[in-house]
Homo-oligomer: A and B are copies of this chain.
Amino acid sequence: MGEFDLITRYFKRPAKRSPLGVGDDCALLAPAPGMQLAVSSDMLVEGRHFLSTVEPSRLGHKALAVNLSDLAACGAKPLAFTLALALPGVDEHWLEGFSRGLFALADEHGCELVGGDTTRGPLNICITVFGEVPAGSALLRSGARAGDDIWVSGTLGDARLALEVFRGTIALPAEVFAEARMRMEQPTPRVALGQALRGIASSAVDVSDGLVGDLGHILGSSNVGATLDVDAAVGTVAAAGTPDLSVEMLRTCALSGGDDYELVFTASSSARAAVEQAGKRSATRVTRIGRIDAEAGLRIVDASGAPVAQRFGSFDHFV
């Protein structure tokens, strides 16, 4: 099968809303009047972002999900995406599964594939996603103010717990592992919550490298500090009740786990009811885990307010 047959068989579908989709030198996008286009790119490399053994349909889901998560963190509504794919060869089983998982999530969000590139090379998946957001209303990292609450969506740490099982450092009961593995392999981008938080959240970021590291982006961009309740964060971990998991492991997974694709965001304490309401409207759990301080730096405390000595890193591809 040649390059263009491959594209036609697995990836070419008629454009619905875009003026021009797959099959020309460029795709054409036309955001609605008054809308800005939000753009984000994420590249996934085998062995770093996914295990070589992952089921291809789950990988197709995840490749788009991590990009949709960036749109969610800006409060943007998904529109379209491009897919650039380096493949070691033509593996029809892989292509069928990957494209099925990819399009299932794309269809769920009305996000259409409009173009891309296919080449031979070490497996690499690069998606650029486009969303629209009313001019001036995107959620940014730079809007947190002293006194704001810090919130997180969904559950933290479960993806990392699943990874630790694959690494052999911990064991989980089968049904707990199955749920954690789904969080690692098929994360849920919080697209509806992101849009519901427009006008409510003062800042937002998605958690991909770990809560502490990604919250750090908000603190740096907003020029503020924070106090984080580690026990509140651990309370969101779905597997938190599992016997034999150490407090240290749970805290590490919740604060430094990575691969969560949850939103961490800030909002004025007067907006608590509005945040809860946004969570309900988008059927997404939201949990208050700390507050923004004027004083720089991140202070990690337990439920009683006592400082926690444990250190928490953040994922970095080059350190």
The residue in A2, A84, A121, A128 that gathers the most chain B C-beta atoms within 10 A of its C-beta is A128
Bound Cα distance from A13 to B44, whole angstroms? 24
- Contacts of A70 on B, CB cut-off 8 Å? 25-26
B116 touches A30 (CB 8 A): no
A residues 89-119 near B (Cβ < 8 Å) are 89-90, 114-119
B82 touches A25 (CB 8 A): no
A2 touches B318 (CB 8 A): yes
- Contacts of A133 on B, CB cut-off 8 Å? 28
B36 touches A84 (CB 8 A): no
**Interface: A138 (CB within 8 A):** yes
- Number of this chain's copies in the assembly equals 2
- Residue of B with least CB distance to A315: B3
Whether A20 contacts B89 in the complex (CB less than 8 A), given A120-B48, A121-B45, A135-B30, comes out as no
Bound Cα distance from A131 to B20, whole angstroms? 14
The residue in A6, A121, A204, A221 that gathers the most chain B C-beta atoms within 10 A of its C-beta is A121
A30 touches B36 (CB 8 A): yes
**Of B29, B83, B124, the contact of A124 (CB 8 Å cutoff):** B124
Distance in angstroms from A75 CB to nearest chain B CB is: 9
- Residue of B with least CB distance to A140: B24
Q: Identify the A interface with B (CB < 8 A).
A: 1-4, 6, 19-20, 23-31, 33, 36-43, 45-49, 70-71, 73-74, 76, 80, 82-87, 89-90, 114-122, 124, 126, 128, 130-131, 133, 135, 138, 140-142, 204-206, 221, 316-319
